[in-house]
Amino acid sequence: MPVQGYMYPNEIELAWSILIVLYPFITGLVAGAFILASLERVFHVDSVKPTYRLALLTALAFLLVAPLPLQMHLGHPERSFEMYLTPHRTSAMAMFGFVYLWYLMAVLLLEIWLDYRRDIVLLSQSTKGFQRFFYRLLTLGSSNISEGALRIDERVGYVITVVGIPSAFMLHGYVGFIFGSVKANPWWSSPMMPVVFLFSAMVSGIAAVLLLYMFSTWYRGKTIDMRCVDTVARYMFYTFLIDFSLEMLDLVHRIYEADESFRSLDFMVHTRLYLSQVVIQIYIGTLVPIGLLALTQLFRLGERTRKRIYAVAGSLVLIGVFAMRWNVVIGGQLFSKSFLGYTTYKIGFVAREGLLPAIALTLLPFAILWVLVKLLPPWPDGESLRPASDAPAHAD
C-alpha cells in the first residue's frame, strides 16, 4: 500500500529523489577527505603523510561530481546558472554555487597545484609529446622550483589549508543547514543538523581515504604503512564517537520532548525506516564499526587483523553514512506534514532520477580519481615520478 493514513494530495510523490541523497553523501566525502589532509599540513600529524596527496585528489574527484546529481535532478538544468547571476539572498540553496566555487577554485585546486608544482615542473621536463605539452600547461608558466620558490609555495599552501578547514566546514555544514532550516519539516528542522552532517562527513571522508589508501597500496604491490593507517583509523574512531554522540543526543531529545510530530516520526522509524535507519544506519553502519575500531584501541592485535578490521569498519562506515543521508532525505518525505499519514518512495531504474544514474554518479568520482592519480601520482614512494635518487614526492 503506497499511502497509509492521510497525506496532503501533493505530498504523495516525493519531491527529492536518490540523487539528492547522493549530493550530501558526495559533498561529505569531499569535506572529510580535505579535513584529513589538513591534519598533516596544519596540525603536523606526520604519520598520516602517506595519505595527504591521495586525500586531496579524492576530495577533488568527488567535488567535481558533487553538483552533477543536483544538476540532473533540476526540472530545468539549463537555468541553473541563474543561481550565479541572480542569487536569491535569503535562500540557503542559492549560496551553494558560491560556496562550491570558492571551495573548488580558491581552496582545493590552488592547494593541489601548489603542492604538485614541483612535480609538474619536473614532469614537464622529463616527459615528451602531448604529455609534455599538458604538464607545461599545468605549470601555468611558472617553472621556478628553486628552494626559495618552493618555500613560498609551502607557506602559501599552509595559509590556504588554514583557510580551507573552515571552508570545508562551511561546505558541509551548509549542506546540513539546507535541511536543518526547513521549519515545515520536523524531521529536518534542527540546529543540530549542520553539526551532525559535518561530523558524519568527516567520518565518511576519512573512511574513504583510508580504504582508497589501503586498496591502492595493495594494488601497487607496496607495503601498507601501518603507523599511517593506525593513526587514520584512530581519528576515524574518535570522530565517529563524537558523531554518534551528537546523533544520539538529537534522538534522545526528540524522544523525551515528544512534540506533535513525534508519534508520526516514531511510527516511521519503527516501520518504513526500520531497515535503513535502525538496522543499516545504527546497527551495521555505526555500532559494529565503532565496536570493531574500539577493539583495535583496547587490544594489541596483529597487523593482518588490524588491516582487516580497518577495511571492514571503513566499508561499514560508508554504508552507514550513506544510510544516514538516505534516512534524512528520503525519510523526511515519507510522512505527511499533517502528521496523519505515510507514503512510499518508488525508485525507477533507468530513469532520469533512477538507480542507474545514481550508481553511475557514485562510480564517476572513482574514474576521475583514477585519471587524476595517473596524471599526478600521489604516492609517497614517488613511484613513476622521478629517478630513485631523487627526493620523495612530497619532500618539503
Length of the chain: 396
81, three cell numbers = 546558472
Site string (321-360) toward another protein, x via CB under 8 A: -----------xx--xxxxx--------------------
Nearest distance in Å: CB 337, another protein: 6
Partners of residue 184 on adjacent β-strands? none
Nearest CB to another protein, comparing residues 308 and 352 = 352
Nearest CB to another protein, comparing residues 187 and 322 = 187
- Rounded to the nearest angstrom, the gap between the alpha carbon of residue 215 and the centroid of all alpha carbons in its chain is 18
Phi and psi angles of residue 278, each rounded to the nearest 5 degrees, phi first: -75, -50
Nearest distance in Å: CB 178, another protein: 8
Q: Cα(59)–Cα(208) distance, rounded to whole angstroms?
A: 10
Residue with cell 560556496: 99
Nearest distance in Å: CB 352, another protein: 10
Nearest CB to another protein, comparing residues 46 and 82 = 82
The 10 Å Cβ neighbour count of residue 358 is 19
Assess 296 for contact with another protein (CB under 8 A): no
Nearest distance in Å: CB 13, another protein: 8
Which one among 72, 94, 242, 375 touches another protein, defined by CB under 8 A?
94
Q: Which of residues 49-88 bind another protein (CB under 8 A)?
A: 70, 73-77, 79-80, 82-83, 86-88
Residue with cell 550508481: 359
295, three cell numbers = 577493539
Q: Cα(167)–Cα(198) distance, rounded to whole angstroms?
A: 12
| Segment interacting with another protein, rule: CB under 8 A, options 61-69, 119-127, 181-189, 274-282 | 181-189
Nearest CB to another protein, comparing residues 151 and 263 = 263
Which one among 4, 16, 143, 284 touches another protein, defined by CB under 8 A?
16
Which one among 42, 45, 72, 93 touches another protein, defined by CB under 8 A?
93
Q: Cα(386)–Cα(321) distance, rounded to whole angstroms?
A: 39
Nearest distance in Å: CB 362, another protein: 21
Nearest CB to another protein, comparing residues 123 and 273 = 273
Nearest CB to another protein, comparing residues 8 and 43 = 8
CB 66 within 8 A of CB 100: yes
Phi and psi angles of residue 348, each rounded to the nearest 5 degrees, phi first: -85, 175
Nearest CB to another protein, comparing residues 19 and 196 = 19
CB 94 within 8 A of CB 87: yes
Instruction: Sort 106 into a burial class: Cβ within 10 Å, 0-12 / 13-18 / 19+.
Output: middle
Nearest distance in Å: CB 222, another protein: 45
Phi and psi angles of residue 175, each rounded to the nearest 5 degrees, phi first: -60, -40
Assess 98 for contact with another protein (CB under 8 A): no
59, three cell numbers = 576530495
Nearest CB to another protein, comparing residues 91 and 297 = 91
Which one among 184, 298, 350, 395 touches another protein, defined by CB under 8 A?
184
Assess 192 for contact with another protein (CB under 8 A): no
Nearest distance in Å: CB 353, another protein: 11
| Max CA distance (Å), the chain | 73
CB 235 within 8 A of CB 206: yes
Handedness of CA 254, 258, 259, 260 (dihedral sign): positive
Q: Cα(83)–Cα(92) distance, rounded to whole angstroms?
A: 11
The site that binds another protein (CB under 8 A) totals a number of residues, namely 40
Residues lying near another protein in the complex (CB under 8 A): 6-11, 13, 15-16, 70, 73-77, 79-80, 82-83, 86-88, 90-94, 96, 178, 182-185, 332-333, 336-340
